[in-house]
Amino acid sequence: MATRLGDVLRALPAKLRLEGEAKLAIEIAHHRLAVTGVLFLLAFSVVALRLVDVTVLKEGHEPRLAHLPRAAGLDIERADIVDRNGELLATSLSTASLYANPKMVSDPADAAAKLVRAIPGLEAKEIAARLGSDRSFVWIKRNLTPRQQYAVNRLGIPGLFFQPEERRVYPHGSLVAHIVGYTGIDNHGLAGIEQSMEERLRSSNEPLQLSIDIRFQHIVREELARAVEEFQAIGGAGIVLDVATGEVLALVSLPDFDPNSPGTAEGDARFNRVSLGTYEMGSIFKIFTAAVALDSGTVTLRDGYDATQPIKISRFTISDFHPQRRFLTVPEIFMHSSNIGAAKMAVDVGTQRQREFLGRVGLLRPASIELPEVGAPLVPSPWREINTMTIAFGHGISVSPMQVATATAAVIDGGVMRPSTILKRADGAPVPSQRVVSARTSEQMRRLMRLVVERGTGKPASVPGYLVGGKTGTAEKIVNGRYAKNARISSFVGAFPMNAPRFVILTMLDEPKGSKATFGFATGGWVAAPAVGRLVARLAPIAGIGLVDENAPELREQMFINAAVR
């Protein structure tokens, strides 16, 4: 075809032939340009599709790490945790983590030296070794700050990339450490609510609401820390429990730690003394001894026991810390915290009934609280008569402060047991309950606990106008299989107002030391009861509990003990 076209052109006049050749050249050029344009269009289309694939479909040039097994822990979305009033306790913030493809790093030593200057805390040798490996992926630093990310970007080192991640943040720091817990580097819960509610926190975007009131929590921690420091204790525990619902409004264990950097915690700071620790709680157990004795009908408030002489059984001697050396009525046994009287009372109740009652109020099983750190009680096996006698005043059985607070609430709130919870109960939702003693026994126990604060060993917990009641407890710790006289657990469990209890408060000090102000004593009445008194004075106004006239005839009648007390 081209030959025939050439022959035609040669046959034409010269001028026309020149014009035809020019048109042919132009036509050929047009065809070439069109082909080139199409090729460029195809090339740009490929580039554009690749950009869409990389930047939109694959979310940037960083390799998607979520395709790794879920065990790698990179599914990082997590719901917030808030207190009962919506105050933020835990949340997640977007961060960037730095990784490298060592195969793309030309000079590992130089790159490492630059990274160490950009990100304080890195070790040049370690980073150089990572960058010089034959792998295609190595972490350099997780959860960079924005400033660190900017500094690394400015270095312009090939082979470094950023992976979007989230970091768990705890705005209140150590204040709620033993409640909320913390997560690991890959955002999996490792302690506290973060661990026990892992599935809920990952499966819902709705905040998880706890029963904790951050205002109560702050006050309890402040007062407990004051007591720990004043009496040089190695630790302490504090609880505030809503009697009617079983909701935990405050839970403090000291020492504590910062969940934002749990790796810096020292000693036993991560140990939860409230729910995980189990201790012989001492005379606080007389609450349960008196309750089962009164409820079973083996004694009345008018009955009593001879506490003149210590009890000798086998190779053991049971004596009183403040001996009265006389016959004591049941109210006096409770008020003066007589071990002798409590032991005799328990013998009359009997081992079977004692054990069955302690099981009913939750003292023979782990606390029901929704925390992974829950300790199992230590109970005697076999349960002999000597065990029955010593358990009557809180020796020979180890339980957690959480168990004691829950059981105490059951005894004084009409005799109805409600499981404790760290989660806020829905308004109007039914609360599981079980009767453990009669309403009459519960009323009698409220009177006895009020008597302890009004006239007995718990006087330092008294706060005029709030009708505080309670029971002291002191027990020597077992060290190397023996009771250590200079190492004790001192505690006080209180409630208010005793005519219609709203809250149970427990404070416990681990190995407190007596001071000049306490005349060298470090028992529960001297070191733990005052802290409860201060807590009542500070918490009651927040809870809207007003002052009352404790000498009003109707209140005196309501709290009157109809038995001889001196």
Contact indicator for 217, 175 with CB cutoff of 8 Å: yes
Give just the sign of the alpha carbon dihedral 428, 431, 435, 439: negative
Q: How many CB atoms lie within 10 A of CB 28?
A: 10
Q: Degrees (nearest 5) of the Cα angle 221, 505, 529? A: 85
Q: Which of 54, 71, 73 is nearest to 63 (CA)?
A: 54
- For 375, phi then psi, to 5°, come to -90, 145
Query: 312 CB contacts (<8 Å, ≥6 apart)?
Result: 318
- For 192, phi then psi, to 5°, come to 60, -155
Which neighbouring-strand residues pair with 491?
473, 508
Q: Write down the catalytic residue from 283, 338, 398, 462.
A: 283
HEC string of 214-258? HHHHHHHHHHHHHHHHHCCCCEEEEEEEECCCCEEEEEEEECCCC
Q: Which of 533, 535, 476, 482 is nearest to 510 (CA)?
A: 476
CA separation for the pair 545, 453 (Å, rounded): 19
283 is catalytic: yes
Percent composition of the chain: helix, strand, coil (DSSP 3-state, to 5): 40, 20, 40
Give the H/E segment covering residue 182.
strand 182-183
Q: How many CB atoms lie within 10 A of CB 440?
A: 12
CA separation for the pair 228, 471 (Å, rounded): 20
3-state secondary structure of 470: strand
Q: Which residue has the tokens 């702050």?
A: 218
Give me the count of residues in the chain.
Answer: 566
Which residues are known to be catalytic?
Answer: 283
